[in-house]
Amino acid sequence: MEINGKELALRLGGRVIGDDSLIIRGVGSLNASKADEIIYASGRKNFHKAASGNCGVILTKKAFSDNDKVLIIVDDPRSAFVKCLMIFQHVNTYSGTVSERAIVSDTAQISKNVTIMQSVNIMENVSIGEGSVLYPGVFIGNNVKIGKNCLIHPNVVIGERCALGDNVLIHAGVVIGADGFGFAEGPDGKQLKIPQIGAVVVEDDVEIGANTTIDRATSDVTLIGSGTKIDNLVQIAHNVRIGKNNIIAAQTAIGGSTVTGDNCIFAGQVGVADHCVIKDRVTIAAKSGVQSKEMEEGKTYFGIPAREIHEMRRILAATRKLAEKKH
C-alpha cells in the first residue's frame, strides 16, 4: 500500500504542510519509524520527538515548532490515526470456499462466499451467513447460527444453540456456550450439577479477545450487546446481560445474572459479584471489586469494595491521616 500526502490528507479530512507528493507506505511509531512512514504525535513533547526522528510525515493537530517534516494537520488526530491504521492495515484475501479437510454436516446451511478452513468441525443444523470466515480448529455445535461477515480465529468453540450476529470478530481460543457454573447442595452434602440448557447470544459488531469464556444461561440466554468490545482472558458467567458498546478489559470477571447498561467501561481485573445492576455509562477502575447490587448511571467507581470515586478518595485521604497519627 502506498499513497501520497495529498491523497492521504483528503481521506483523513486534513491539510498538508510541506511536500504533498511525498509517498507514504506505512505507519510508524515514535520509537521506530522510516522515511516513508507517518506517525501520530499528540502534544508538544511527542511532536518534538517525532520531528527529531526518521519519519517522513507527522499527523498532528498543530505544528509546535519549525521542522523539515511533512505535516498533516487534522482537528482530531486520534480519530484520524485510527482511519490511517485502517488504510494501511493488511487485509487478508479469503478463498470463499470450504476446505476438503473440514468436517461439515450435510444439514448445515452455508451461504455463498464463506471460507471454512481445514480442521473445522461443523455439526448439525448450523447456519453461516455470507462472507464469514472460520479458521482451522474451529468447532461449531448443533443448531448454532452465525451471521454475515463474521471472522472466527483458530480453536474457537461455539456451543450448541448459541448465536452470533453480523460482523462479529472472535479471537483464538474463545469458548462461547460452556456450561454456566451452577450447583446446588444435595441432602447428602454433595454438590449437584444444575443443568445449563440456555444459550449465548452475541449481537452485531462485537469483538471478543483471545481465551475469553462466555457461559451459556441456565434456561434463557447470556447476552452480549451490539458494539461491545471484550479483551483477552475475560470471564462472563451465565445469565449475564451486557449492554451495547461496553468496553471490558483483560482479566475482568462478571458474575452470574449481572446486568450492565450501555457504554460502560470495565478496566483490567475488575471483579463483579452475582446479580449486580450496572447502569448506563458507568466506569469501573482497574482491580475494583463490585459488590453493590446497583451502580448509578454515569458515575465512576473504584476500590474493594468499589465505591463512587469521590467517596473513595475521601476514604483514602482519611486512611492516610490515620497512618500519620499513629506515628
Is 64 part of a structural domain of the chain? yes
Mean pLDDT of the chain: 93
Is 29 part of a structural domain of the chain? yes
Is 51 part of a structural domain of the chain? yes
**Amino acid 325: pLDDT:** 61
- Number of helical H runs and strand E runs in the chain: 4, 40
**Residue-range definition of the domain harbouring residue 24:** 3-88
Q: Specify whether the CB–CB gap between 196 and 238 falls below 8 A.
A: yes
Q: For residues 199 and 129, what is the distance between their CA atoms, to the nearest angstrom? A: 19
Name the pairing type of β-strands 57-60 and 109-110: unpaired
Summarize pLDDT for 222-249 with one digit per residue, the tens: 999 999 999 999 999 999 999 999 999 9
Q: Which residues are catalytic?
A: 238
DSSP 194: P
**Amino acid 44: pLDDT:** 87
Summarize pLDDT for 61-113 with one digit per residue, the tens: 888 887 888 999 999 989 999 999 998 988 788 999 999 999 999 999 999 99
Is 179 part of a structural domain of the chain? no
Q: Is this structure's pTM higher than 0.75?
A: yes
Is 166 part of a structural domain of the chain? no
Is 26 part of a structural domain of the chain? yes
CATH number, position 77: 3.40.1390.10
What is the count of structural domains for the chain? Answer: 1
Is 327 part of a structural domain of the chain? no
Q: Specify whether the CB–CB gap between 61 and 78 falls below 8 A.
A: no
